[in-house]
Amino acid sequence: MIKTPYYLIDKSKLLRNMEKIAYVREHSGAKALLALKCFATWSVFDLMSQYMDGTTSSSLNEVKLGKLKFGGETHAYSVAYADDEIAEVLAHSDKIIFNSVGQLERFADASASHVRGLRLNPGVSSSEFLIADPSRPFSRLGEWDADNVATVIDRISGFMIHNNCENSDFALFDQMLGEIEDKFGSLLEHPQISWVSLGGGIHFTGDDYPLDQFCDRLKAFSERYGVQVFLEPGEASITMSTSLEVTVLDTLYNGKQLAIVDSSIEAHMLDLLIYRESAKMAPNEGELEYMVCGKSCLAGDIFGEFRFERELKVGDRLSFIDAAGYTMVKKNWFNGVKMPAIAVRELDGSVTLVKEFTFDDFVSSLS
């Protein structure tokens, strides 16, 4: 048995998402790029690259990772590029997307021979959290003034519009895309524009999502404006494919039954802390309820409250499901808590340990 804690990526579950992505690609004509900001564990890129067209990034490091480890088409995007990194970004990308007209103009000469795009901000989004809302008041993410964009449209050939966030509602996606068309239609219709990325955050691989309606809407958008549509699935690529395997280290009672495990939300599932959400566990049924807590010194290091059929004991193994998105890319060494290993369950059912982190890794992350 692999020593906990560790992330376990199940390729058979990952494959289900890939097959849905392939269906959308075939029936809509859209291309799909893995959003590395959500998931960048390149040990499973061998499978994912068979079903996706490439990667999209948010930094120089992600651009290089996508180019070197995934292949296919590589889109480079960043909220702001620095002077000393633009040459490498261009060298490792097929398209570069600027966040602002100012950045486009600043690097106009350096990127003159590159395929260039610009991020648009439509002012609407599906986010329920202000911290994740790209269309929040005074947002720095993209250009919102169509007239301003029109002044530089001769320098670009496409747009990126990322305004969905954990959106599993097709009707809402359709509505917001209509608002985008109303606001930016004159830009989309411009003969200079040949591609549009609609970003990520669309949970089209979820259960019961109306894939055919989604495909029809994408195809209609593509045909109306004569553009190649790109999608940037992150969470949709890896949803329900991965678990975080942990072991109970201690139990106690302090008004509630508590169980402490060999992991930490701040170190290993940081999004739970940021968005004040609970982890998901399977199984999660029974008459006994425990608050499962992390081992760090943070008082709020709590995975959530879960139900069990029997009393938890030291040494019991627990499994937090749906643990791939924004976890491995955010893991850290808070409190020096042991970094989870990474394991892959292959399609034949065998499990391969692909990465373990050691004390030397901890030391080298410091100074």
Residues at the annotated binding site?
235, 271
Q: How is residue 172 annotated by DSSP?
A: H
| Single-letter amino acid, residue 137 | P
Peptide bond into 137 cis (omega under 30): no
Question: Kind of pairing, strands 242-253 and 158-160?
Answer: unpaired
Which residue's entry shows tokens 């995007």? 77
- Distance, in Å, from the CA atom of 111 to the CA atom of 363, rounded to the nearest integer, reads 39
Residues annotated in a binding site for substrate: 235, 271
Question: Which regions of the chain does DSSP assign to beta strands (E)?
Answer: 6-10, 31-35, 54-56, 73-77, 95-98, 115-119, 158-160, 195-197, 228-231, 242-253, 257-261, 280-281, 288-293, 302-308, 317-321, 341-345, 351-355
Phi, psi of 31 (to 5 degrees): -100, 150
Do 293 and 301 form a contact (C-beta atoms < 8 A)? yes
CA 359 vs CA 218, 220, 273: distances in Å: 48, 54, 25
228-248 burial: b if 16+ Cβ within 10 Å, else e = ebbbbbbbbbbbbbbbbbbeb
Pairing relation of β-strands 351-355 and 95-98? unpaired
